[in-house]
Each structure stands twice: as structure tokens, then as C-alpha cells.
Amino acid sequence: MVSILRRSPKLLNSICRRRFSASSDGNLTSHGGKSMNLYSAINQALHIALETDPRSYVFGEDVGFGGVFRCTTGLVDRYGKDRVFNTPLCEQGIVGFGIGLAAMGNRAIAEIQFADYIYPAFDQIVNEAAKFRYRSGNQFNCGGLTIRAPYGAVGHGGHYHSQSPEAFFCHVPGIKVVIPRSPYQAKGLLLSCIRDQNPVVFFEPKWLYRLAVEEVPEHDFMLPLSEAEVIREGSDITLVGWGAQLSVMEQACIDAEKDGISCELIDLRTLIPWDKETVEASVKKTGRLLISHEAPVTGGFGAEISASIVERCFLRLEAPVSRVCGLDTPFPLVFEPFYMPTKNKILDAIKATVKY
């Protein structure tokens, strides 16, 4: 990955120009801690999880040496090979093992190396983990299972290292789906997921692993699940997104403001179960809604948000709900810039929706 970036300086520059902010006022947030990037925040959360719960385990492909994104660096040295260990290249086996481990009362933190390869584990997640508690009448469960997976575009990943499969899992009752936008959010949300009483799929925006930097408290803290955050207040249109797309949407909000359009930007954070009330309150105020995500537009989670808000806010809408998403094609390689929901695409949609 690093070598590819070095061979593509224009690509690296375009990635670095993606502005990052975790705050509601557009500035880099200070949370009174150590400055770190997103992968370091993930690593610190895993250290805390293992330190505070002796029945927690981290496992997956190559996690023993730190993983391809270095998120598990130093864990095996500190906590030993019995609690941090490599697995065979078998995603179905990784998740299946995690279900059994969690069913015995442990905290199982499974890593899928890329979200693109989570599909072999689909049956284990959908038909086993999600239904474990329900089919037993709550006599047993695997609520201690957390599945981490890097997702989304990275600038050079092509078909098999760039996908955003979150919508597949949002159709499954019994699991939670969480996606952070920043280092602070990643640490607090991951610790909440690990300690939650339900199985969780935690997608990490790999584009931000090293680009997103902010101050993160080094102590143990958690952020609430199923609670969206208004990170930019506005009055003309509501924008909803999650993960790495928030930074792109924020750029569009800033440019729209130059044209006199006031945008309210909401980070959903938890996709299932999602915070309908926060989005509904915002849309009733602005009268307009735009949703943006990297996944293909058809069947994406933006469609569920759109349908729910139309049901709840129909008489308050001043324009049709707009979706700016990935295209209905396999994720491309050289044509990635055309596929991505860019700042200019979002800005055009904002203007069109406000002028409707």
C-alpha cells in the first residue's frame, strides 16, 4: 500500500487534500489528550479492552504482527499469544470461532482484514450471530462478539479493497452496525461496541487511518451507540452521512455557505439501529434532505433513510430527498474519481435541492 502511494504522488496529494474535521464548528477538535491518527486510536482502544477485561481476545489474519494497517501493533507482546493470535485465511472460520468464544461469556474481537472479504462470513453473521439470542429465548447469546473490518475507498484499492458493504448488514435484525468518522469517535465507539451486549459489525474507514488526526483522551471512555451527532448546524438543508464521507460532505457545506446556503451536517455513527429522531428533527427544521455514501446508490442505506424520513416528514419537505452515492458498478480502479461521491457532486445536489 505504501509503495503504491509513493509511486502515485498525485494520488497521495489528492487524498491529503480531503479535509478532516471532527467538530461542529469545522475546526480540529481538542478533547484534551494525545494527538493521534485513527489507526492509533483503534490500537489504543484494543489495548484498553484487553487490559480491562481478562476474558477479551483479539484474533484475525496477521493480527499477531500488527495487521496490514498496524491497528493491532504491540498487542501480542503485551497480552500474549493466548489472547492475541493469527487465524487461517478463512473469514467464515474467524467469525464462527468468535461466535463460539462469545457464547462462552468472552469478549471476542474478530478482525476481517478488508470488508471486501467479509462475504464468506455472511452466513455466520446473518444466520448465527444475529439470531443466537432470539432462537434461544435469551437463554444464551453471543453478544460479546465485535467484528472489525476496514471499509471504503483508499485511492488505489480497485474492485476488492474498496467496497462499502454496510447496507447488507443493516437488513439483519440482531446485530448493530457502527462506523466512526474520526480518531476520537473511533476509540469511544469501538469500546462501546466491544462492551455492548449485542454482536456488532464495526466498519473502519481505512482512508482515514493515517490522514485523520486529532487529540484523543488516553483514558478509557465510551461514546453512545444509536445516537447521531449534529456536527454542523444549519437551516436550509440537512446532510446525513457516516465514516470518511463526512469530511467530503463538510467541504461541500463550506462551499455552499459561500453561496448563502446554510447546511446542517449529521453523522449517523450507528447505522443499525439508527437515530431517526435526530434526523427527523433536523429535516422538519430545514425541509430538505441529502444523503451521501460511497456504496452504490441502489439498495444503499441511504434509501432506507430516505424512505423513513419521507414517511415521517412528508408534509414538511420542500424538495425530493437527494442521494449522492457511488455508482451502480463494481468499484473501479483508474475510474475511481468518477465513481466517488465527490465534493462537487454533493455541492451541485445541495444547490439543486435548495432551488427546487
Q: How far apart are CA 95 and CA 145, in angstroms?
A: 9
- β-partners of residue 322 are 290
Q: Which of 119, 105, 178 is nearest to 148 (CA)?
A: 178
Give me 33's grid cell: 489528550
Give me the DSSP letters along 44-84. HHHHHHHHH-TTEEEEETTGGGT-TTSTTTTHHHHH-TTTE
Q: Which of 47, 128, 156, 161 is catalytic?
A: 161
Respond yes or no: is residue 159 known to be catalytic: no
Adjacent-strand bridge partners of 296: 326
Q: What is the DSSP string of 157-195?
A: -GGGSS---HHHHHT-TT-EEE--SSHHHHHHHHHHHHH
Q: Which three cell numbers stand for residue 257?
A: 455557505
Residue 238 grid coordinates? 440537512
Contact 241, 289 (CB under 8 A): no
CA atoms within 13 A on the CB side of 250: 25
Catalytic residue, candidates 61, 91, 229, 294: 91
Beta-strand ranges (E) seen in the chain are 34-37, 56-60, 84-86, 107-111, 145-151, 176-178, 200-205, 213-216, 229-232, 237-241, 263-267, 270-272, 289-296, 322-326
Cβ-contact 170, 301 below 8 angstroms: yes
Contact 32, 217 (CB under 8 A): yes
| 161 is known as an active-site residue | yes
Phi then psi for residue 35, to 5 deg, are -70, 125
Under 8 Å between Cβ of 228 and 267: yes
Active-site residue set = 91, 161
